[in-house]
Chain A
Amino acid sequence: MATMLSVKDLHVSYGAIKAVRGVSFDINEGEIVTLIGANGAGKSTTLNTVAGLIKPESGTVEFQGKSIVGVKAHKIVEQGLAMCPEGRRVFTHMTVAENLEMGGYTRTDAENAETIELVYEHFPRLKERMRQVAGTLSGGEQQMLAMGRALMSRPQLLMLDEPSMGLAPILVEEIFDIIKTLNQNGTTILLVEQNASMALSIADRGYVLETGKINKTGTGQDLLHDDDVRKAYLGG
């Protein structure tokens, strides 16, 4: 199995605040890997750094064997690494179709015409609302749009930052089902979640992040049954 993403000894600070202190992890092609941890553990910071939005102090990030530290975020998307950010961040004044078009910014119109149909297959509700302004969508629909938008670049690796945040349980199920389907169709997934039990139950492997450091790793099932993890993240 080829390594898709390899992060080694990553350090990231915001001024004097050290948010990430020596994080290392790997993702193999075809896997779902989850990063779990409490609020402020450094999960989003790690993802944002990999995506090129933040520059790390030190450490290496290799995507498909090539270093992407210092590469501009928009170039990283071109290489096949997309991120669906925390809080969705859809373009609220633009329509659903325009949001998806922005997701496919690095692709040709012909490619986008194809991909958008695939996205509508995963998210039929987006098709019904394609001309609706994104700001008027419900939270769940906005999450679907944010994911669909990230898929438009046809990524090999999709990073999802808390896709279940603020959603009703039934929608959370739906989103996780779609994540599994995407993975079965060949997209490698890095999933950050507060909802640790859901995330671990679909993940091949997981990493537990605590105050900027990885303190545990294992298969999804191992972590799901680990006493420390159960106490800290699964409510007993």
Chain B
Amino acid sequence: MFDVTFVTQLLNGLQLGSIYALIALGYTMVYGIILLLNFAHGDIIMVGAYISWIVMSQLGMSPVLAIILSVAGCTLLGVLIDKVAYAPLRDAPRLSILITAIGVSYFLENGAQLVFGADAKVVPQYFEMDNLMLGDVQLSSVSLLIIIVTAVSTAVLTYVVNRTKLGKAMRAVSEDMGAARLMGINVNNTISFTFAVGSALAGIGAVLYSMAYTQASPTMGIMLGTKAFVAAVLGGIGSIPGAVIGGLLVGLAETFVSAIGLSVWKDAVVFLMLIIVLVVRPTGILGRPMTEKV
């Protein structure tokens, strides 16, 4: 029999896991196409949360506008980071671009601290929502919304990647950039598109995170980004379903470890999970063995 706390914790775990999944998708897509661990990806979430805070708290404008501007802002920022910081290094050694990503991450964190201060800001509630009752179990409507939005976003992404022309071009570029050029594919545009999609998902993640946890702080992206990165590797970096499964597993593990009173161990458990999976399956749960890059 399901008891009340189990259902509540399950929902909490899926809520957190969904947010990790959305962020993990961006990591995995960018890695898939240019083999870059985009360390600045977590910080994009932070910027998204601040945009919502500015729009609603500072400018007193509507939550719908806050959502639109957060997602649009993250999308633009992701593309801009690629164009300014990564694109000039496309032919440079992978280590240079990795270090650049770390630099961008510091830049965003310190920039936010400079502009907004180190203290967390409270992001107002976007919508008033009544919780649902299932028998005598109260279901958080925010949790349900987060799970549904994540499921829909993942479905749309899967469709785009598998069925649309740009999505197929993404897959072609990620397998063999030179061959993709010979097909007439504009590789730079395809990479920009990948950053745009990954960052839009991060923007959605930023809004959902702010709905659930109502805070924006300059360093919020660090732990979120790290967990989502672990989720992406756990699921198999480069794999879209892998990122979702990894995200949910990390979210559920953290929540249940905390629920049984071991919350100080939750991060350790997540990293332990990662180590075990990588020992058993070095490519992650759904990762493919590395195909040779030509």
Do A and B interact with each other, yes or no? yes
Interface status of B183 (Cβ within 8 A of chain A)? yes
Q: Of A16-24, A30-38, A83-91, A163-171, which binds chain B?
A: A83-91
Contact of B184 among A77, A90, A92 (CB under 8 A): A77
Given known contacts A74-B187, A87-B294, A89-B294, A94 and B172 CB-to-CB distance under 8 angstroms: yes
Which of chain B's residues has its CB closest to A86's CB?
B294
- How many of chain A's residues have a CB under 8 angstroms from any CB in B? 27
Given known contacts A92-B291, A105-B165, A77 and B182 CB-to-CB distance under 8 angstroms: yes
Interface status of B180 (Cβ within 8 A of chain A)? yes
Contact of A74 among B165, B171, B175, B186 (CB under 8 A): B186
Which residues from chain B contact A78 at a C-beta distance below 8 Å?
A: 184
Rounded to whole angstroms, the CA-CA distance of A73 and B178 in the bound complex is 9
Which residues from chain A contact B182 at a C-beta distance below 8 Å?
A: 51, 53, 73, 77, 82-83, 85, 150
Which residues from chain A contact B169 at a C-beta distance below 8 Å?
A: 102, 105
Contact of B183 among A52, A72, A93, A149 (CB under 8 A): A149
Secondary structure of the A side of the interface? Answer: loop
Produce 1/0 per residue, B254-294, CB < 8 A to A: 00000000000000000000000000000000001001001
Interface status of B181 (Cβ within 8 A of chain A)? yes
Interface size, B (range): 20 to 34
Which residues from chain A contact B137 at a C-beta distance below 8 Å?
A: none
Minimum CB–CB distance from A46 to chain B (whole Å) comes to 15
Which residues from chain A contact B294 at a C-beta distance below 8 Å?
A: 87, 89
Contact A91 B181 (CB under 8 A): no
Given known contacts A91-B175, A93-B171, A94-B171, A53 and B181 CB-to-CB distance under 8 angstroms: yes
Minimum CB–CB distance from B175 to chain A (whole Å) comes to 5
Rounded to whole angstroms, the CA-CA distance of A185 and B96 in the bound complex is 49
Interface status of B185 (Cβ within 8 A of chain A)? yes
Which residues from chain B contact A204 at a C-beta distance below 8 Å?
A: none
Contact A74 B179 (CB under 8 A): no
Contact of B176 among A52, A72, A89 (CB under 8 A): A89
Which residues of A does B touch, CB under 8 Å?
Answer: 51-53, 72-74, 77-78, 82-83, 85, 87, 89-94, 98, 101-103, 105-106, 149-150, 153
